[in-house]
Structure 1
Amino acid sequence: MKPIRYTEAMIQEFLGDGFWTKETFFDFYEKNAAELPDREALVDSRYRVTWAEARDLTNAIATAWVESGLPKDSRVIIQSPNSVYGFLARIAAERAGLVSLTVYPYLRQRELEYMVEITEAKMVVIPHIYRKFDYIEMYKELMARFPALKQIYLFDETVPESAPSGTKSLIQEAQKYLGKADPKLLDKRRLDATGDVGLLTSTTGTTGIPKLVEWPISPRVCTAKGRVQIWDLTEKDITMAVAPHAGGAAGTLTYFAAPMAGAKTVMLEEFDPKTALEVMAREKVTAIGVVPTHLVRMLEQDIESFDLGALRFIRSAGGYLPPKVANEAEDRFKAVITSDLGTQDVGSVSGCRVSDSVLLRRSTVGRPLPGNVVKILDDDGNEVPGGKPGQLWFRGPHAPAGYYRDPKLTSGVFDQNGWATTGDIVKLDQDCLWIMGRKKDMIIRGGQNIYPAEIEGLLNNHPAVSSVAVVGMPDEEMGEKACAYVTPKGGMAFTFDDMKTFLLDKNIAKYKLPERLELTLEMPTVGDSGKINKEVLKEDIARKLGQGMH
């Protein structure tokens, strides 16, 4: 299946410049199996697998799927908790020439019916029961509605009687074909790393229905290599998926980057803060992938009672990490926290090195990744002078092909030459990108630009503030003014005068001061991403102003 956006000229450009190769992710499993055969590769609470075993199991699963009659390029949905066989299913799909879509375990029928329909998925790989939810029953209904979906494989050692006819155990099939795989047969189904769609990912989406994104394998390999470099990953590292591996917070570190370096990955099947710390200590984990909520929950524990001396760095993504939380985490975990910029829609843009200073890691999203070219434009499309804020545009080898089989939607994100924007207002200083705010969130007060991220960054350092979001509110005279929504820390008071005094002490221009304060017990978020939904806040303040509230 050919990617919809990449032209032959773009492919040859990135190959010629050396940023893309013809490598697939399975190639690194083979490399590690040859060089580190007895070194552990994947670990969860039930299984421990070496690189040689991981290669052999991958070949076995891939052979089982090919012999089941799945044509090359068939789409398969993998709905997997963090687990050894979840990883093996993903890499086996690539090995079998199948296009995998790995999704969060918490997705339900509303989201999945869209995915099954649009991809015409022929197979799903699922648990029977996870967190007391019966996935078999859900997929029975989906199979009845979408006849293309014919096969179910379970992350279970047995198949219950309730399962549809033909349902198989992934573990049983792996053992059945172990030692019987035909690598030459699989080689014939090898995906072209630049010319084929290799995998799909899903976006969060504010409507609740995710969009699907096409990826050739090359840009994902390219990004993973870039991450290995800035994180200084080696075969001595032990990474851990605390967040779900289906998402970028943990998946980028563990599924994509770790095999490149020959690093081991440990899987936490279900998040519990104490269990997470126990596993980190027992396995001597050197790097973890989390969302901010995981850090907050772990910081509530007696971290100092666990031996976490091996931990080098924490990859936090998927939501805003308040500087106070980051500072406390670095102090108590004795590990650095990295920051970076990228989205499922446009790809990876930049990242901080683990060796960067606290200022750069906390205040910037690092340097552009190798091969990425950035430009910072004003509202008229002109490049801004050095150090001045403008909208970030970038082009490079880390971007996806676009939205699944949707050229029109794709052309709204990437222009003909491959340029795209994250929608962020940034400035370039010390070779790093400093985020000032989102273009759509920028507030224009009487012709003067206010960047919410700047004000939020300052207010997050107030001892009484737990979380903050600054949004524009309509104003007849100025067009817009700034309104600050604040969740105070438990039991602490925070007033408009507290906010004003604190910000003025930071020597910011008076026009940037929020002119209204709204206290809230909890911020609205976008789905399960942890990101504050500012659209809800904008609607809330507009409604209150319409009601004449002051």
Structure 2
Amino acid sequence: MHRGLHPADRVADYTARGWWGDETMDALFRARVTAAPDREALVDPANKQALTGQAPRRLTWRQIDTETDGLADLLLAHGVGPGDVVGLQLPNTVELVIAYLALWRIGAVVSPLPVQYREREITELGGLAAFSAFLTTARVGDRSPAAEIAALRGGLPALRTVFAFGDTPLPDGIVPVTTAPGAADRVAAHTAAHPADPNDCVTICWTSGTESTPKGVPRTHLDWLAMSWATIDAPRLTGDDVLLNPFPMVNMAGINGMFLPWLRVGGVLVQHHPFDLPTFLAQIQAEKATYTVAPPALLTMLLAREDLLSATDLSSLRLIGSGSAPLAPSMVRGWQERHGIGIINFFGSNEGIALLTDPHDVPDPEERALYFPHFGAPGTRWSSRISGQVSIRLVDPDTGAPVTEPGIPGELRIKGPMVFPGYLGGAALPSPFDDDGYLKTGDVFVIAGEGGRYLRYVDRAKDLIIRGGMNIAPAELEGLLAGHPDIAEVSVVGYPDPVLGEKACAVVVPRAGAHPSLEGIVAFLRDCKIASYKLPEHLEIRTELPRNPVGKVLKRELRADLSTGKDLR
């Protein structure tokens, strides 16, 4: 089911071009261990004690390898093996890294879930991916994810075993993560008998899109490792870098933005969770971080808070990656001119988009804020090695006709070695690819700049709300709120937030005589057992929703009104 995901002709073509090879995740990790076994490589969040009840740790490559073998051995002893899909719900700690590496070492498939996910999301996604095992922790804050999973086992028929890190007493039937003598030898025997195929699935991440049912995004060693060059080349990462990672390692941003570059080039990976600004700034200074990532709204806010920045030694920081929302030119220029720190403009997706504009290729901060590389534009060269591997086209969203002239909006379509092979259960879903094999991204751009060398983002064709790097699908909330007794109509849209980028607003038309409140709506959704970050944080009451002539709600009008602070009531 999860073997050989890309067709043989594609593998042969990209291999012949030198874009794919025989690399695997475990082989890259073993190379790091061999190169510098006793060099420090991985650092826990500074607040780990409060988060999980465990003391923060600092590990060398050799220590990571030893713990990876120990966990791999435990998994094998309980029947987890090649091709098994394992749900993974852990905060950004050293244990999360070890879990990925151990599961990849034995050929299992990792399906990472945000720690905020609760019963509703875990049951739905675990059923779609047929989780055969689940790996979590005894405690995150005041919650016990292990106990929550134990209570859900009846709703996940494929689930055989649940494992948990942590010293807190575990519910009956949960396997504690421990290490047995001789683990390395047993794991070595397993890997010798079951060599990894680079075309095998290694992760199933989840994308909310515009639909209430999430889609699974399977990825292989081949496409992940091809994509990782984009996030290595843009910040010019080397083994001397210290990467501070505040993004959850559950999707493209955390996995390809931080984890895979660290795995390929070495250096030190410093974990951060949950996001806390004083802790984040303290880690930059204490760990001498050279590279990190942050939402645009946070970077804008920090520029306005010189009291915070002046109290932090930022001298080690070379670059900051940012994206998921348009960057303000004034913000990019402010960081460069006032602090000497370049901002990299990111546009990416779980499915395989990787457009990054960096200070080396685009020194002007205002151009860098507005534009992305138009790979393949005549007479234009880019330093990233993916620039010669990605094929890009824009097409009219309605007719599919090619868009080749500047200023005309077109849907971005891409093809190349970093694109995923297709959605989980894809035979039952509309194909994400066009007839020529290009991924239909649903994102609208225009050609811009001298000689058409740039792409400028126009709009999300999808209505996704991105709150602090986490995706919220409005359709899911709208479907649930349709059952609220006080609501006749509802539309959920994002509105600007100075730190998280966006938050969710419920725009509601009440039933006759009803008076819905934000508190009541939140309580209703909590009873639906959804993740807390999805809950609306603002309520607008309307007598009607704006619609086009065929009855579709005009969400763009609602977003525009919210962004300007207009009272919708």
Correspondences of 1:472-487 after superposition (within 5 Å): none
Q: SS state of the match for residue 239, structure 1?
A: strand
Does the 8 A contact of 2:133 with 2:159 survive in 1? Answer: yes
Aligned to 2:196: 191
Q: Which amino acid aligns with 1:310?
A: S
Kindly state the Cα deviation for residue 396 of structure 1 after the two structures are TM-superposed. Answer: 0.9
CA distance in structure 2 between the aligned counterparts of 1:292 and 1:135, rounded to whole angstroms:
31
Kindly state the Cα deviation for residue 252 of structure 1 after the two structures are TM-superposed. Answer: 2.0
Aligned to 2:356: 351
Q: SS state of the match for residue 23, structure 1?
A: coil
**Change in CA separation of 1:108 and 1:540 when aligned onto 2, cut-off 3 Å:** same
* The one of 259, 269, 276 aligned to 1:272: 276
Aligned: 1:164 with 2:172? yes
Q: SS state of the match for residue 422, structure 1?
A: strand
Aligned to 2:458: 436
Does the 8 A contact of 1:200 with 1:215 survive in 2? Answer: yes
Q: Which amino acid aligns with 2:321?
A: R
**Change in CA separation of 1:203 and 1:79 when aligned onto 2, cut-off 3 Å:** same
Aligned to 2:417: 397
Does the 8 A contact of 2:326 with 2:370 survive in 1? Answer: no
* The one of 389, 406, 420 aligned to 1:387: 406
Aligned to 2:19: 19
Aligned to 2:35: 35
Correspondences of 1:315-334 after superposition (within 5 Å): 315-331=321-337, 333-334=339-340
CA distance in structure 1 between the aligned counterparts of 2:227 and 2:140, rounded to whole angstroms:
32
Does the 8 A contact of 2:131 with 2:158 survive in 1? Answer: yes
Does the 8 A contact of 1:303 with 1:333 survive in 2? Answer: no
Aligned to 2:93: 83
Correspondences of 1:306-317 after superposition (within 5 Å): 306-317=312-323
**Change in CA separation of 1:293 and 1:269 when aligned onto 2, cut-off 3 Å:** same
**Change in CA separation of 1:296 and 1:385 when aligned onto 2, cut-off 3 Å:** closer
* The one of 160, 167, 177 aligned to 1:150: 160
Does the 8 A contact of 2:218 with 2:424 survive in 1? Answer: yes
Aligned to 2:344: 338
Q: SS state of the match for residue 80, structure 2?
A: coil
Kindly state the Cα deviation for residue 272 of structure 1 after the two structures are TM-superposed. Answer: 1.1
Between stretches 133-142 and 528-537, larger displacement belongs to: 528-537
Does the 8 A contact of 1:159 with 1:169 survive in 2? Answer: no
Does the 8 A contact of 1:249 with 1:291 survive in 2? Answer: no
Between stretches 208-217 and 258-267, larger displacement belongs to: 208-217
**Change in CA separation of 1:325 and 1:428 when aligned onto 2, cut-off 3 Å:** closer
Give the aligned length.
462
Q: SS state of the match for residue 69, structure 1?
A: coil
Kindly state the Cα deviation for residue 226 of structure 1 after the two structures are TM-superposed. Answer: 2.7
Q: Which amino acid aligns with 1:164?
A: D
CA distance in structure 1 between the aligned counterparts of 2:496 and 2:197, rounded to whole angstroms:
50
Does the 8 A contact of 2:372 with 2:454 survive in 1? Answer: yes
Could you list the per-position Cα deviations for residues 104-127 of structure 1 after superposition, in whole angstroms to 9, with x for gaps in the alignment?
A: 111111111011111211211112
CA distance in structure 2 between the aligned counterparts of 1:383 and 1:27, rounded to whole angstroms:
41
Does the 8 A contact of 2:495 with 2:559 survive in 1? Answer: no
Could you list the per-position Cα deviations for residues 399-418 of structure 1 after superposition, in whole angstroms to 9, with x for gaps in the alignment?
A: 1111112224251x113542
Could you list the per-position Cα deviations for residues 499-529 of structure 1 after superposition, in whole angstroms to 9, with x for gaps in the alignment?
A: xxxxxxxxxxxxxxxxxxxxxxxxxxx9959
5+ residue gaps, structure 2, are 47-55, 376-385, 464-493, 499-530, 539-545, 547-552, 563-567
If the length of structure 1 is used for normalisation, what is the TM-score? 0.76
Q: Which amino acid aligns with 2:445?
A: I
Does the 8 A contact of 1:62 with 1:92 survive in 2? Answer: yes
Q: SS state of the match for residue 234, structure 1?
A: coil
Kindly state the Cα deviation for residue 220 of structure 1 after the two structures are TM-superposed. Answer: 0.4
Kindly state the Cα deviation for residue 56 of structure 1 after the two structures are TM-superposed. Answer: 2.5
**Change in CA separation of 1:190 and 1:539 when aligned onto 2, cut-off 3 Å:** farther
Kindly state the Cα deviation for residue 176 of structure 1 after the two structures are TM-superposed. Answer: 5.0
Root-mean-square deviation (CA, aligned residues, Å) is 3.5
Aligned to 2:395: 377
CA distance in structure 2 between the aligned counterparts of 1:217 and 1:343, rounded to whole angstroms:
17
**Change in CA separation of 1:276 and 1:440 when aligned onto 2, cut-off 3 Å:** closer
Correspondences of 1:371-520 after superposition (within 5 Å): 371-378=389-396, 379-389=398-408, 390-409=410-429, 411=431, 413-423=432-442, 424-429=444-449, 431-438=453-460
Could you list the per-position Cα deviations for residues 274-329 of structure 1 after superposition, in whole angstroms to 9, with x for gaps in the alignment?
A: 11111111100011123335445655461121112111111223444444444444
**Change in CA separation of 1:382 and 1:109 when aligned onto 2, cut-off 3 Å:** same
**Change in CA separation of 1:230 and 1:330 when aligned onto 2, cut-off 3 Å:** same
**Change in CA separation of 1:230 and 1:421 when aligned onto 2, cut-off 3 Å:** same
Q: Which amino acid aligns with 1:187?
A: A
Does the 8 A contact of 2:353 with 2:414 survive in 1? Answer: no
Kindly state the Cα deviation for residue 394 of structure 1 after the two structures are TM-superposed. Answer: 1.4
* The one of 357, 369, 387 aligned to 1:362: 369
Aligned to 1:282: 286
Between stretches 212-221 and 238-247, larger displacement belongs to: 238-247
Does the 8 A contact of 2:297 with 2:497 survive in 1? Answer: no
Q: SS state of the match for residue 347, structure 1?
A: coil
Q: SS state of the match for residue 18, structure 2?
A: coil
Q: SS state of the match for residue 402, structure 1?
A: coil
Does the 8 A contact of 1:39 with 1:50 survive in 2? Answer: yes
Does the 8 A contact of 1:111 with 1:210 survive in 2? Answer: no
Q: Which amino acid aligns with 1:122?
A: S
Kindly state the Cα deviation for residue 182 of structure 1 after the two structures are TM-superposed. Answer: 3.5
Could you list the per-position Cα deviations for residues 84-123 of structure 1 after superposition, in whole angstroms to 9, with x for gaps in the alignment?
A: 1101101111111101111111111111101111121121
Does the 8 A contact of 1:273 with 1:298 survive in 2? Answer: no
Q: SS state of the match for residue 148, structure 1?
A: coil
Does the 8 A contact of 1:225 with 1:260 survive in 2? Answer: no
Kindly state the Cα deviation for residue 18 of structure 1 after the two structures are TM-superposed. Answer: 1.1
Over the matched positions of the two proteins, sequence identity in percent amounts to 22
